[in-house]
Amino acid sequence: WNDMNEPAIFYSEKGLASALEAANEAEGKDLDINSFFALKDKFTGLSNSDKDYASFYHNMDGKVLCHELVHNLYGYNMTRAAAEAFERFDPDKRMLIFSRASYIGMHRYGGIWTGDNQSWWAHILMNIKQMPSLNMCGFLYTGADLGGFGGNCTRDLLLRWLAFGIFTPLMRNHSALGTRAQECYNFGNTEDFKNIISIRYSLIPYIYSEYMKAALSDKMMFRPLSFDYPEDSFASSVEDQLMFGDGLMLTPVYTQNARGRYVYLPEDMLYIKFTSPTQRKYALLPKGYHFIDVALNEVPLFMRKNKLLPLCKPTDRTDNIDTSRFEVIAYADRPCEYVLYDDDGYTTDYDKPEHFDSIAIKEDVNGKFVVFSNKQIVKVSLFN
């Protein structure tokens, strides 16, 4: 975990001198509100000032470069150096590296998180919008500080953020010193948090499959609706819903005190509302606009037609996940298939054909839909 890995200016001598001069001039004066905030801004503006970054230069092999043009290359090269060192020291082992600072192309060496966000409702929406943008830049291993890094998180904010964060490859609750402690157990009624996190563990085989398939085929896990529905004129204007993996759509609630949200369905879809890995409600909804009720302890999810969702039994750690037994949710009116990826998670032979398996719905001799798989399918919920 490479943190604070970009040059950071907390103040420059010139900036500090200017702020101190303003403070000396204000001494003994009765400041009005505008004068007070102007003085305050002199000090709060000292940290990481754009003017400071634009005021110094590097001599690189005889070429003079302004710092603001190369600022993020430090984080890029730090992560690249770490990745190349790990590959040299232990070439047969996969390493998980992620960084705060980055630059285009660093996805070859590690992932990133989305930086120092705030415990604001608007930053859930920002997180939603960032995921496809980062995927388009090649970054698949990414996620936000759930609950927000700065500021004081609340119970409802954390629950809503977790309901989206359980789908992101990097899922972590992380906050700054001096803010309200936001571990889930601090907010009471921990069963709600436990259930949402358990849904994540049920989804991990699916999330991992979609992650690895995207990495191996240069595709995106998170996509704007318009990428899957290019002929739909309204889909291109929807920025708060995301296509996820093979045929799922995420519709997180990101506003305070909301009992649900409006969604746009580009086609008929199966609505799945999770309260826990085993407690779910289903509804077949037609193409168009809908308001869906989503309580604080619920996770909304939509599935495209002729798609499958494999779920495993939740556990308390990934080492204990059983990838030989699955429950399958299917929305199908014809034969269809889901390709499940599964490997040991440690070695670098991740592109072998034997890591891919199929879960398929086919018609038997009587015309009934039957699930075929090398996995043990313990339950099938079929909608058509």
Instruction: Give tens-digit pLDDT for 3-31.
Output: 988 888 889 999 999 999 999 999 999 99
pTM value > 0.75: yes
**Beta-bridge mates of residue 262:** 291
Q: What value does the mean pLDDT take over residues 130-136? A: 97
pLDDT value at position 7? 81
Using DSSP, state whether 1 is helix, strand or coil: coil
Q: How confident is the model at residue 42 (pLDDT cuts 50, 70, 90)?
A: very high
Least confident segment among 58-72, 156-170, 227-241: 58-72
Residue pair 111/221 in contact by the 8 Å Cβ criterion: no
Assigned token pair, 105 = 């192309």
Max mean pLDDT among 66-70, 160-164, 187-191 falls in 160-164
Q: Please tell me the distance from the alpha carbon of residue 346 to that of residue 68, in angstroms, as a whole number.
A: 38
Tell me how far apart the alpha carbons of residues 371 and 233 are, in angstroms, rounded to a whole number: 36
- Residue-level pLDDT at 6: 82
pLDDT one-digit tens code per residue, 218-274: 999 999 999 999 999 999 999 999 999 999 999 999 999 999 999 999 999 999 999
Please state, for a pLDDT cut of 70, what percent of the chain lies above it: 100
Q: Contact at 8 Å (CB) between 268 and 287? A: yes
Report the alpha-carbon distance of residue 163 to residue 294 in Å, rounded. 11
Q: How far apart are the first and last CA of the chain?
A: 45
Distance CA 344, CA 212 (A): 12
Angle, vertex CA 315, rays to CA 312 and CA 317, nearest 5: 115
Measured in whole angstroms, the distance separating CA 342 from the mean position of its chain's CA atoms is: 21
> What is the H or E stretch that residue 338 is in?
strand 336-341
DSSP 234: T
**What Rg, from alpha-carbon coordinates, does the chain have?**
24
Instruction: Name the residue with tokens 């092999």.
Output: 61
- Cβ atoms of residues 272 and 301 within 8 Å: yes
Kindly state the percentage of the chain with pLDDT values over 90: 89
Q: What does pLDDT average to over the chain?
A: 95
CATH tag for 307-383 (out of 2.60.40.1180, 3.40.630.10, 3.30.830.10, 3.40.50.720): 2.60.40.1180
Whether 50 shows a pLDDT value over 90: the answer reads no
Query: What was the pLDDT predicted at 48?
Result: 84
User: pLDDT-derived band of residue 330, with 50, 70 and 90 as boundaries?
Assistant: very high
Q: What's the confidence (pLDDT) of residue 372?
A: 93
Distances (CA, A) of 257 to 123, 180, 181, 297, 367: 16, 20, 22, 13, 48
